[in-house]
Chain A
Amino acid sequence: MNKYLTPVFLLVTVITNAQVNISGKITDSKNRVLTGVSISLKNSYDGGTSDSTGNYFFVTDEKGEQILEASASGYKPFQQKVNLNDAPIKLNISLKELVTELNAVVITAGTFEASDQKKATVLSPLDIVTTASANADITGALKTLPGTQQVGETEGLFVRGGTASESKIFIDGTLVNNFYYTSEPGLATRGRFNPFLFKGTIFSAGGYSALYGQALSSALILESIDFPERSSADIGISYLAINGGLQHLAKNKKSSWGFTYAYTDLRLAFKLINQKPDYFNIPVLHNADANFRIKTSKTGMIKYYGTLSTTSLGFRYGDIDSAVMKNAFSLYNINMYHNLSWREKLGNGLKMISGFSYSTNKDDMGNEFQNENNQKQIINNPSSLFSYKNFGVITHGKYANAKVVIEKRIKGLNAIRFGGEYNYSNERSDFTLYNGNKSEEYIKENLLSAFGEGDIYITNDIAAKIGTRAEHSHLLDKWNVAPRISLAYKFADKSQVSFAYGIFYQDPERKYLPSSNKLDYAKATHYILQYQKLSNNRTFRTEAFYKKYDDLFKTSAANGKEVAVNNKGFGDAKGVELFWRDKKTIKNVDYWLSYSYLDTKRDFLTYPTLIEPSFAAKHTASLVIKKFVTKLKTQFNGSYTYATGRPYYNIRPDQNNNYKIFDKGRTKDYNSLSFSVNYLPSIGKTNAKSFIVFVLSFTNVLGSNNIYSYNYSYDGRVKQPVTPPSKRFYFLGCFISFGIDRSDDVINNNL
């Protein structure tokens, strides 16, 4: 027995004698203490963890040459050879910070992002649909953010002194033409796209990336959802519309398809809510859409979304040039949109993002000049203004957009991106004059673009994005080159400053074409400085900007149409904006406040001189409040918007055919208070077979008499306010989703 025991004892003593103490302190490159860092000897169990003072200590039995490792997430792994004999080892380690998505500064100058990514964003996708004044319209929600105007007489986003046509909208990378329903006189139409289609919304009020172009003011970049959470059937009923749809998610969650159909008929709504225009053809809309999504690899995906819609409507409104006569406007629209996108990681840090979209739009519009008994009046006198009130126009548009972006990741987050884009548009208009004479117009554009952009992360605290975009327009037969630069710096308290600079070019608006004059691109130069502080449930940001406009289009009347004549227009816009969001101060209440100050003047279109444009208010403020009451399973939303009055003008040619301001004024201030209530009776019920949402909303509860602008008669003697079609608006609807619970399938497939 003894014989065996002795060596064992000996061994133990040897080991005890050979134990080595290893200790030290761990800091980052700025000499700040790091806690929780794991220190180990490679291929052994021995090691330790740094404590709250950054110190570590452990004891090891290992001998000889060993490798000491230190690792912490967000830091570069550290390795060093150590020679272990009896002497204790003291080793202080400085870890180098890795530039990672979670820690790195984000360049945010000019942009608001709503997405569900891990990084804190200012808005979430849900915010867009639960903003009271938005009525589930994407741009409606964006109008509560700084930088946007409360323009209600025309659709679109008027951003920082820019017109609606200076804001472009992109879905999965490609440009969307006809994002809004066809314009109607004096009314703002809604967007065609359901906000639930998108998981990410990036709203840039300026200084956007070189990947996008042809928008002097703003880019709204929408990213469609990947897969639905589960297969489901959905129906919705409101007094405006009914809709139904099906979404199918494959068992292996690698593909999905779906379709929806919606029928909108405003007959009942217009009976309940008095409309100022006299509708002889109450709006009826049919909307059908379909989608499929296929996972092509672990990281690759192909997505398709297509929609087909028709609109028909007709209404009468008083003719401003005569006492009793009326205009009867009618519209029939067919719109088709297809979007196919494909993204794939190609290996070697290469990633491809490509998209193709094709759309067609047909508007069949007409106007009849009618007497008080709604009978058509034909006036056959070419010198009379009233003759031209009878007309018809059919516009056919075909649009194709293709885009490819290749991204190459270089070390860390550094990346370069380059690619090309092709935009094709072909618009044909057939006019029918009062006397039955017909004429046609064609406007064709082929726009080719190439772009390159680099993301440079010097440390987690400092980043830059430098890009350039070059475009060639076939229509203008001209090139342009637009540089874009943005920078961001993060302070120790996690607040950050961003700066953006960029040049932006844009083609003339189609409605001012064709033109016999030689035209160039309109140009805008942006300078944006932003400070932002995001903390737990609180966001503060402020932005100052200066925007310079050059080569804006001047227009003049030719053959009863306003046509672009030259690029002699110019202007500028400057302002300060504030945004504050707080989910913390008042329990269970989430609110945000936006304020915009805008000082802008421009000389463009028929403006005779440099003036404040009619679509720009000096001060705009919004307050949005949301409160979810758990007990009632109900969310209460409120929003209030205020804007100071906007200027309006009577601009028309004098006897020498020079445009002059004959009258001007300023509208009264704009006020609107809206409420909405969402009741979700089935929330939280597990195994519930359906999910129900009731929505009730009131727009302009107080019934403020808002005036957007004034229209003048041909001779300037009569002036009429442009107002919303109804003072208040109510919405009541119920949306039900029948979830097809597949958890059993999931389990069985994994067994």
Chain B
Amino acid sequence: MKRTFFLIAIISFSNFLSAQSDKYAAAMKKNISMLDSVYQKGNAGELANNFERIGDSEKTQWLPYYYASYCHVMKAFTEQDKTKTDAIADKAEQLITKAEEIIGKENSETDVIKSMIASSRMMVDPQTRWQQYGPASSENIEKAKQLDPTNPRPVLLEGQAKFFTPEAFGGGKAVAKPLFEKAIPMFDAFKPESDLHPTWGKSTTEYFLSQCN
């Protein structure tokens, strides 16, 4: 009797869990699929809100906050009014911190976002902020590479950083190109932990590679 009860309890619990996670996975997939068109549509803010709502409701999933932060950092990069950039970067930072608190540590993907946040802050006033945010951005790229050497995204960021750095300062297309070339097969080989984990970046890499010629 006891055993049966226990069994029923387990079955119903796991049923409940899978129903829950189905809903979660469906919502996430729907929003992740919209990430690709975010630049054209300019709806990064809306998408960020969608992810944040999922995160707030789930409470134990780090990926919704990760994607919300990613959307905000993309918004920070595209914001024309530089006086607004820091507020958006602040929001991205809050969300990535939440994601890391849920995992209990930083991982390669959160470091990628942290590098992007530092870069977006540097872009506000490169000449005076370079000393503070330049190292913060490259340190996070290094950490991301170290934590997961198969992750192509830090390689993409490194390439982008070189791409936008003047040749006189050791950057330029010629320096950036091998990095993009290195990233492409890494994207092809990259195995995300689940179909909800980050896979973005290949089309961006291809775009930059085409600009290197």
Contact = CB atoms under 8 A, between A and B. Distances in A.
A44 B106 contact: no
Contacts of B142: 743, 746-747
A747 B166 contact: no
A751 B166 contact: no
Contacts of B83: 120, 536
Interface in A397-441: none
B199 interface: no
Interface in B127-184: 127-129, 131-132, 135, 138-139, 142-143, 146-147, 165-166, 168-171
Interface string A120-151: 10001110000000000000000000000000
Nearest to B145: A747
B99 to A, nearest CB: 16
B171 A684 contact: yes
A738 to B, nearest CB: 16
B36 interface: no
B42 to A, nearest CB: 10
A686 interface: yes
Interface stretch (B1-9, B47-55, B187-195): B47-55
A229 to B, nearest CB: 6
A47 B168 contact: no
B171 A38 contact: no
A36 B45 contact: yes
A747 B111 CA distance: 11
Given A36-B45, A116-B129, A751-B146, A45 B168 contact: no
Interface in B81-121: 81-83, 86-87, 90-91, 106
Contacts of A116: 128-129, 132
Interface stretch (A524-532, A597-605, A628-636, A654-662): A628-636
Contacts, number: 88
A74 B23 CA distance: 32
B143 A747 contact: yes
A443 B72 CA distance: 62
Interface in A721-751: 743, 746-747, 750-751
B170 A686 contact: yes
Nearest to A126: B128
B207 to A, nearest CB: 24
B66 to A, nearest CB: 16
B22 interface: no
Contacts of A751: 146-147
Nearest to A684: B169
Contacts of A683: 168-169
Nearest to B125: A124
A74 B87 contact: yes
B9 to A, nearest CB: 23
B49 A631 contact: no
A73 interface: yes
Nearest to B105: A750
Nearest to A125: B128
B202 to A, nearest CB: 25
A102 interface: yes
Contacts of A743: 138-139, 142
A43 B57 contact: yes
Interface string B27-63: 1000000000000000001100110111011000000
A679 to B, nearest CB: 12
Contacts of B168: 630-633, 683-684
* Contact residues of B: prevailing secondary structure: helix
Given A44-B57, A686-B138, A633 B169 contact: yes
Contacts of A699: none
B174 to A, nearest CB: 14
B53 A38 contact: yes
Contacts of A49: 45-46, 49-50
A351 interface: no
A685 B166 CA distance: 11
Contacts of B53: 38, 40, 44-47
A114 to B, nearest CB: 10
B169 A126 contact: no
A74 B127 CA distance: 28
Contact of A746 (B27, B143, B170): B143
B57 A102 contact: no
B143 A750 contact: yes
B88 to A, nearest CB: 8
A112 to B, nearest CB: 16
Contacts of B27: 45
Contacts of B50: 45, 47, 49
Given A38-B52, A49-B45, A746-B143, A73 B90 contact: yes
Contacts of B87: 73-74, 102
A34 to B, nearest CB: 12
B82 A536 contact: yes
B106 A750 contact: yes
A73 B91 contact: yes
Interface in A31-61: 35-36, 38, 40, 43-49
B204 to A, nearest CB: 22
A746 to B, nearest CB: 6
Contacts of A126: 127-128
A536 B85 CA distance: 12
Contacts of B146: 747, 751
Nearest to B75: A36
B86 A118 contact: yes
B50 to A, nearest CB: 7
A619 interface: no
A684 B170 CA distance: 6
A751 B131 CA distance: 25
A437 B43 CA distance: 87
A369 B14 CA distance: 102
B139 A102 contact: no
Nearest to A536: B82
Contacts of A125: 128
Nearest to A534: B83
A229 B127 contact: no
A541 interface: no
A747 B27 CA distance: 35
A630 B127 contact: no
Nearest to B143: A747
B86 to A, nearest CB: 5
A630 B169 contact: yes
Contacts of B46: 36, 48-49
Given A36-B45, A47-B50, A49-B50, 20 more contacts: A35-B45, A40-B49, A40-B53, A43-B57, A45-B27, A45-B57, A47-B49, A49-B46, A49-B49, A102-B86, A536-B81, A628-B127, A632-B168, A685-B169, A685-B170, A743-B138, A746-B143, A747-B146, A750-B143, A751-B146
Interface of B: 23, 27, 45-46, 49-50, 52-54, 56-57, 81-83, 86-87, 90-91, 106, 125, 127-129, 131-132, 135, 138-139, 142-143, 146-147, 165-166, 168-171
23 contacts: A35-B45, A36-B49, A40-B53, A43-B56, A45-B23, A46-B53, A47-B50, A48-B46, A73-B90, A74-B87, A118-B86, A124-B125, A630-B168, A633-B168, A683-B169, A684-B165, A684-B168, A684-B171, A685-B170, A743-B142, A747-B143, A747-B146, A751-B146
Interface of A: 35-36, 38, 40, 43-49, 73-74, 102, 116, 118, 120, 124-126, 229-230, 536, 628, 630-633, 683-686, 743, 746-747, 750-751
The 10 closest A-B CB pairs, nearest first, are A684-B169, A38-B49, A49-B46, A124-B128, A36-B45, A747-B146, A684-B170, A40-B53, A49-B49, A630-B166
